[in-house]
Amino acid sequence: MTQNQKLAELSEAGVAVWLDDLSRDRIRTGDLQTLVDDYSVVGVTTNPTIFAAAISNSDAYDDQVHAMAVRGVSVGEALRTITAADVRDACDLLAPVARRTGRDGRVSLEVSPRVAHDTDATAAEAAHLWWLVDRPNLFIKIPATQEGLAAITTSIAAGISINVTLIFSPERYRMVMDAYLSGLERRANAGGSLTGIESVASFFISRVDTEIDARLDKAGADPALKGKTALANAQLAYQAYEEVFSSDRWSALQGRGARPQRPLWASTGVKSQDYPDTRYISDLIAPDTVNTMPEKTLKAYADHGSPGTPIQQTYDEAAQVMKAVTEAGVDLDDVFTVLEDEGIQKFVDSWDELTESVRAELQDKE
């Protein structure tokens, strides 16, 4: 099979195609390698929900779980050993991509969502996971909570590459970029090298439309506003990215070998049948971005996707959309707070499900 033309063209436009999924079965069956070879996939993201599904739906983990049960390891240690093993193997599979591109070939592993509001615990777990997986093409995922911002700075200063997750607003995104630059500055001022440090900022898309569409309905707003906010929100985030990474502050760091923190479009599978299944790919095409996609969305674009209006041509319209949504009675600050809280809680729920699943497997294998 040859490289899919539509996804190859997306890559040529500056969009790194990543897969938002991982399992041991994907690695062992060669499925992930096929996506790399034939679908332009150059990175992988994971989260607690993805691992909960992977472990509960496969017997590929049985031998490892049995060995840990015999050793009497704790549930927490077992959980991290299992997930780190999959991420390490995926990093090895993608190592040729990392060598070829210099910045992709990355696999993300998230800190426990239970420490999302604890700066010190988040930074400590990020350092531990970085040591545990021990691969240069790893990303540690840290949520962009207020407490997470300082942990991002600490981790970057320590030389750890970070995927900042659960970003919903351009305002919080600016704080994330500041945290990244502050970490680079701290490291450089201490005499550390900036070479090899990478970061992406995961800006969530579809959940914004889901929440705001419901509020627009409740407010009796013009139906024509529905389904527009998520794209406009992300487009304005990219405008902020262009501003920050053309500043004098950034130029000074770039001169010392730093790489920009790329925007990553996350949650790009549509959640409403009213919208085209490729809309969160087609309308978010811009240089130096990442789009992490569920396999269903990736293959939909491979089949019938087409590029929309380039992001740089959308800023004025995007600002008008956000203004209209606000004037319709939607409190955007409240929306973004709710989405962050719900995002953390969803991952906590999945983490608890994953923990219970591993606990049950350990007991079963004793």
Give the other-Cβ count within 10 Å of 363's Cβ: 10
Q: What is the largest CA-CA distance in the chain?
A: 62
Give the other-Cβ count within 10 Å of 235's Cβ: 24
For 145, the token pair is 């909570």
For 1, the token pair is 């099979």
Q: Which residue of the set 141, 226, 228, 296 is catalytic? A: 141
Cβ burial of 327 (10 Å; 0-12, 13-18, 19+) is exposed
Give the other-Cβ count within 10 Å of 19's Cβ: 25
Q: Of 205, 287, 196, 282, give the one whose Cα is nearest residue 242.
A: 287
For 350, the token pair is 């999945």
226 catalytic? Reply is: no
Q: Half-sphere exposure of residue 149, counting CA atoms within 13 Å on the CB side?
A: 14
Catalytic residue IDs: 141
